[in-house]
Structure formats: C-alpha cells, structure tokens
Amino acid sequence: MNDSLTPQAKDFLNQTIPLFINGTWLSSECGNTTDIIDPSSGQTIATVSSGDEKDVNLAVETADKAFRSWSKLSPEERAEHLNKLADKLQSEAKTLAQLEALDVGKAFVNADGFDIPFGIDCVRYYADLAVKADYGASLDLEDMDARIHRAPYGVCGFIFPWNFPFDLFMWNVMPALAAGNTVVIKPAELTPLTSLYVCKLAEEAGIPAGVINVVVGAGRKVGTPLIEHPKTRRISFTGSSGVGKQIASMCGQRPIPCKLELGGKGAAVVFDDADLDNAVTQLAGAITLNTGQVCCTATRWLIQENLYDAFVEKVTSKLKSTVIGPGIDPKTEMGPVVSQAQQDTVLDYLDKGLTQGATAVLDGGKVDVEGHDGGYYVAPYLLTGSPENICFQEEIFGPAAFLVKFKDEEEALELVNSLEYGLANSVFSEDLERCNRVAEQMVAGNSWINAHNVFAYGLPYGGINMSGVGGGVNCPETFYDYLRDLTIARPLV
Ligand code: NAD
C-alpha cells in the first residue's frame, strides 16, 4: 500500500468494503466481491462487495421507509444535516482526494484542488437552496383558489460512470436529498471507493439510516433492478449515449422521469484573432484534464487557417511537456486512463483514425512510466484529416483531439453542428460580438467563450440530442427538478 496514504484511507482499503444499505454495512446477499484496480499500477487496491437484485430491493425498500420521515423534516432541518455532512467531508478532504486519485487514476492535484472542494461546496450550495426555495406558488385564476405545491418524489435512483465519481455523487444526489427525496446509488463498478467513503462520513455526520444507500455491482445486476423497482420514483443516469438510450427505454416502460447526462464530442472554434496562448492552454488542458475522460471536453479543434501552424506548434510543445505519472503522485499532471479496456479503446481509435487516412500532428499512444509498469498510460495524440474520420466523429474518452482547418464562420459552424452530440462547445476570438453570434448558433446545451469546461454555481449545464435530456449540475433548476408539481384547486363558484 502507498505510504503517503492517510491512516483513514489505509484502514478503509484494508477490508472487503461492504454495501451501505439502511445505515448499515452489509455484504451482498450473493456474497460476490469485485477487486478494484489502481490504473496507475494495474494492482488491486481494494475489494468491494458486489450486489444484485436482492440488495437493490432491500435498498429501495429502506429508502422508501426513510422517505416518510426525511421528507417530513423542515428544509432547515435537512439543510442542517447536509451542512454537517459537508463539514465531515471537509475534515477528510485529503483522504477523499487520495481515494479518488487511486481509484480513477486522476492527478491528485486535480482531485485535491478541484474535484473534492467543488463537490463539498455543492453540498452547502444545495443545503442553502433548500432553505431559500419556494415550495409552492399561488395561481391567479378567475373563480378559483388554486396553487402549485412542490413535493419530493420519493426514492430516486442514480447510476453513475467512472470518470468523476465524487463530483457526480455530489452534483446529482445533493439536490435530490435537499429537496426531501431519499436515494439509492449505483456507482460505476470500476470506481466505487469515494461513494462508499462518503457513506461512512454520512453515517458519522448523523444522516438518518436509509436516506443514502449505495449498492455496487454490474449494470444489469444492479442498475436494471433499480430502474424496474416499483418504488423507485425517478432515475438520473450519467454515462454513455448507448447505455443511456437503454435506460430511457426502461424508464419509459414504467413510466418514470429519467434525467440523462450522456456522452459528447465537443468542438472548439479558434478564430485567427484569438488569444493564442489562452486557446492553447485551454485546449491542451481540455484533453489532459482527467486524461481526457471528460464528457463535455473539447476533442474537435477547429482552427482558422491563418492561425493553424502557430497553434499546432504551441499546442504540441505544451502537450509534450505534460508530466504523465501515477495519479497519487502530487507531481503528476496527467494520470493513466481508468482501465486496461479504456486504454485498448483509446489506442484502437488511434489505429483506426490513421488507417482511415488521418495524419498525426502529435504522435502519442501507449507510454511506459518508469517504476509503474502495469499502469494504463497513454500520451496525448493529435490527428488531422477529413471530418469523416472516425476520430472526428466518435467519442474517444482519452487524451486525444482531432484538428480541422476552416476558412470562415459559416464553415466552422457547419463542422460544429455536423454530429448528433450536443453537450458543450467553445469559441475563441477577441471579437466578442462574433463569439456571441457563434455561441448562439452552436446546437448543444453549453457554449463557452474563450474558455472550455466552465462550471459555476448558478450556471445550468446539460445536453441535447445524443448528449442527453435534462441535466442541471449546480443551479436552482436542478434542485426544482427533484420536486414534482402538484396542483391544488378549489372552484369558488
Ligand atoms: P456506461 O454507459 O458504460 O456506464 C455508466 C453506468 O451505467 C455504469 O454504472 C454502468 O454499470 C451502468 N450500466 C451499464 N449498462 C447498464 C444497464 N443495462 N442497466 C443499468 N445500468 C447500466 O458509461 P461509462 O463508460 O461508465 O462512462 C463514460 C461515459 O459517460 C462517456 O460516454 C461520458 O461522456 C459519459 N459521461 C457523461 C457526463 C455528462 O454529464 N453528460 C458526465 C460523465 C460521463
């Protein structure tokens, strides 16, 4: 075990970590376990219980029971519970950052400097919103005493991917809890550690039993029964577009509301009057942050022809200097990808892209890191060629981007909007009027100006088309999404 780990992290990893159901740590009914692999070394770092339908049934039933009292608490009481949880998370921020870096392979500097603090802020943000929110609105109708009453749904199910386990938990689950719902969470099989550690801290913070439940396990064994359970009142899914379509269809059978936050293939349009250094920093950062495993990141770089050569020279030099290493090492700027399978996928795209006629602007691919032989490291690669190329068309989810030169605004917009994905794009130019015009014509949930990957409290975020339905992250809209509208009316004549 890594010597730099906190005693709490060591203790936590030094056991078969059970499921968390009804405020109790339980081994799965079937007795199955899964080994959790450190992507930086390929070594097993922990073993977790792996559940199935029986565990899900117990979790949903207990969450349903807990809903009866949790939903009756005043917003102030719920906020007090959540603020206590935030304090607990804060007191163990280093342990959380280490577990996240070990589990996902992400650079500790990012986990410690961004993921964990941002996630903790989110708990406080929704605690505050719960207190300030409107739980009703009167309607000004003729001959009618009428109003809207907003009430929580009941048990909300969450199915998460592996790239931002802690933040996705906070961003999605906290608004649901703050609104008075109880939750059953299925983390990704590959990266359940911080979700389980949050349960330990929730228990210590006094969150009532049954309000938060975590069942680890495979998609079909845990995710599907969670969706199909009659007492699950809504589902929030974050993951790939392919699985998202299946989830939507299962939710449609019930039917229950289903929020989908899916894949992306974001474009960045860089005009020749852009601040070159900023564009280079933002876009190199876009594919090295979390080793490019970021749904909303920019992986199609559209560069105006006059700027193309200068951009390529600067960005390749910047990417070559990226320090690649094990996630847990504070000096690492970019860790490995999450798994052997993901490494194979990212390298396979490189092969296919080249076979289809792309040219390498920056040679990357499999790379060895001294002293960490078994890790799943990939050096950043950049390709250029036809927009028909598979690497322009499909989400790779690794440190890779595809460059295309464009002549004018019209051509750039056509390229941006040529795919079915619609998550996030950006535009870089000193001409803000042009930036705003282009931003408005990008068909997606988010358009960013002179920056990429922009998140702030109060700024809604979501996708359209193949990138999802709904969304929200840290804004009042997300909070209200976890309340259902009930109209109450009394005719006066
Ligand atoms: P995935 O779709 O393979 O898996 C996501 C989750 O779904 C996992 O927990 C998995 O076990 C579960 N699952 C799989 N099959 C299931 C089934 N039949 N029934 C129920 N659950 C099932 O995605 P991934 O590979 O873990 O994550 C990467 C993807 O997530 C990328 O496409 C990325 O763009 C996307 N993502 C999107 C956002 C967003 O905000 N839009 C955020 C993060 C990641």
DSSP of 185-232: EE--SS--HHHHHHHHHHHHTTPPTTSEEE----IIIIIHHHHH-TTE
What is the DSSP-derived secondary structure letter of residue 39? T
Give yes or no for residue 160 CB within 6 A of ligand 1. Answer: yes
What span, in angstroms and rounded, lies between the C-alpha atoms of 54 and 21? 12
Give yes or no for residue 161 CB within 6 A of ligand 1. Answer: yes
* Closest-CA residue to 342 (of 377, 382, 384): 377
* Closest-CA residue to 39 (of 188, 201, 243): 188
Distance 242 CA to ligand 1 centre (A): 9
What span, in angstroms and rounded, lies between the C-alpha atoms of 116 and 166? 7
Specify the residue with its C-alpha closest to ligand 1, atom 42. Answer: 295
Give residue 141's pLDDT: 97
Specify the residue with its C-alpha closest to ligand 1, atom 11. Answer: 219
Q: Report residues of the chain scoring pLDDT below 50.
A: none
Helices (H), 17-72: 53-70
Indicate which residues carry an active-site annotation.
261, 295
* DSSP three-state, residue 439: helix
Give yes or no for residue 108 CB within 6 A of ligand 1. Answer: no
8 A C-beta contact, residue 189 and residue 239? no
What span, in angstroms and rounded, lies between the C-alpha atoms of 82 and 86? 6
Strands 212-214 and 182-186: parallel
Give yes or no for residue 224 CB within 6 A of ligand 1. Answer: yes
8 A C-beta contact, residue 166 and residue 119? yes
Please enumerate in sequence order all residues whose Cβ is within 8 A of that of 305, keeping only pairs 6 or more positions apart, or say none.
272, 405, 406, 407
Give residue 470's pLDDT: 87
Tokens for 348, please give them: 């396979």
Tokens for 50, please give them: 């792996």
What is this structure's pTM? 0.97
Residue type, 392: F
Phi-psi region of 155 (alpha: psi -120 to 50; beta: other; left: phi over 0): beta
Give yes or no for residue 335 CB within 6 A of ligand 1. Answer: no
In what helix (H) or strand (E) does residue 483 lie, and over which residues does it extend? strand 483-491
Give residue 485's pLDDT: 97
What span, in angstroms and rounded, lies between the C-alpha atoms of 19 and 44? 19
* DSSP three-state, residue 125: helix
Give yes or no for residue 171 CB within 6 A of ligand 1. Answer: no
Residue type, 95: T
Which of 52, 104, 159 to mutate for ligand 1's pocket (most ligand atoms within 8 Å of CB)?
159
SS3 content of the chain, % helix, strand, coil (to 5): 40, 25, 35
8 A C-beta contact, residue 461 and residue 118? no
Tokens for 405, please give them: 């030169």
Helices (H), 328-382: 340-355
Distance 238 CA to ligand 1 centre (A): 5
Ligand 1 atom closest to the Cα of residue 218 is: 11
Distance 411 CA to ligand 1 centre (A): 32
What span, in angstroms and rounded, lies between the C-alpha atoms of 212 and 85? 12
Q: CA angle at residue 263 from 317 to 286, to 5 degrees?
A: 20
Strands 232-238 and 258-261: parallel
Give residue 306's pLDDT: 97
What span, in angstroms and rounded, lies between the C-alpha atoms of 107 and 188? 19
Ligand 1 atom closest to the Cα of residue 161 is: 26
Buried b (16+ CB within 10 A) or exposed e, 129-167: bbeebeeeeeeeeeeeebebebebbbbbbbbbbbbbbbb
Strand ranges, E, within 271-423:
298-304, 359-362, 365-366, 378-379, 381-384, 400-406, 421-422
Q: In whole angstroms, how far apart are CA 345 and each of 168, 283, 340?
A: 23, 22, 9
Buried b (16+ CB within 10 A) or exposed e, 4-38: ebeebbeebbeeebbbbbbbeebbbbeebbbebbb
Token look-up 């929704």 returns: 126
Give yes or no for residue 261 CB within 6 A of ligand 1. Answer: yes
Specify the residue with its C-alpha closest to ligand 1, atom 40. Answer: 261
Tokens for 30, please give them: 């079937």
Ligand 1 atom closest to the Cα of residue 217 is: 11
Q: Give the torsion through C-alpha atoms of 173, 178, 182, 188, to 10 deg.
A: 10
Tokens for 288, please give them: 């090295």
